[in-house]
Amino acid sequence: MSQSVVNSEERPSSSPITRGVLQALPVVMGYIPIGFAYGVLAGQAHLSLFSTLLMSFIVYAGSSQLIAAGLFASGQPMLSILFTTFIVNLRHLLMAAAVSPYLSRWPQAKRLLFATELTDETFALHSLQFAERVPGARQVFAVNVTSHLSWVLGSWLGFVANTMLTDVKPFGLDYALPAMFVALLLLQIHHVKAVGVALFSGIVAVVFQLLGFATWSVMLATVLGATLGVVLESWTNKQSG
């Protein structure tokens, strides 16, 4: 990812929009297969093409869409789907909070428009670049729109293919989401305390699921894990101070 940021910066003659589109390419490479997996699952959950693409346009959150396709397929009630989506996507709150200060000079409307298209991957891309320099709004929005459209394109291809594919397993598409989580988790880990929090949260989530509290496992494990992070942090602060 960092490489493409550098490469696009080395072409000052290209337009901001071209630079943004090029910068988004690593995200596009990830979104096409994962969007495809979502499209296949949505089709197999008997969602219509319109509903499948509507979700990719107005929800635009990979993992929660894959989970929602599964919930639609198993006939879960609306409230359960909404609650799960809310919990799964609540992490964007932190990403938006982290990226917001960089855009303090933008007008509020532009900042809000930017935030509606914030995903795990575009957050990773933008925060990497914003730390060096905040590019013009046109380049930033070109990254977002390119990523968003590639997500919709992947969903559409997957939906079209779902009637031809009776089983996504031979292609490993069912593993796109776990593999993406592996990458995003490891990109978040910069020190040993984070390793401890990750292991702890993972184990807590597994234990809660084994005990039969599947619905609450992610939320409880997250709250306990982040609290452990604060505890570890205050211990190391006391030791160094």
Does residue 188 bind other proteins (CB under 8 A)?
A: yes
Count of residues engaged in binding other proteins, rule: CB under 8 A = 95
Q: How many CB atoms are located within 10 Å of the residue 8 CB?
A: 22
Write b or e for each residue in 168-207: b if 16 or more Cβ atoms lie within 10 A of its Cβ, otherwise e: beeeebeebbeebeeeeeeeeeeeebeeebbebbeebbee
Q: Which is nearer to other proteins, 15 or 195 (CB)?
A: 195
Q: Give Cα separations from 149 to 51, 56, 120, 228 (angstroms).
A: 16, 9, 16, 38
Q: Give min distance, CB of 13 to other proteins, in A.
A: 27
Does residue 184 bind other proteins (CB under 8 A)?
A: yes
Q: Give min distance, CB of 12 to other proteins, in A.
A: 26
Q: Which is nearer to other proteins, 11 or 94 (CB)?
A: 94
Q: Give min distance, CB of 122 to other proteins, in A.
A: 11
Of the candidate residues 14, 15, 136, 233, the single one contacting other proteins (CB under 8 A): 233
Helix, strand, coil fractions of the chain, as percent rounded to 5: 80, 0, 20
Task: Extract the tokens encoding 1.
Answer: 């990812």
Q: Which is nearer to other proteins, 163 or 175 (CB)?
A: 175
Does residue 34 bind other proteins (CB under 8 A)?
A: yes
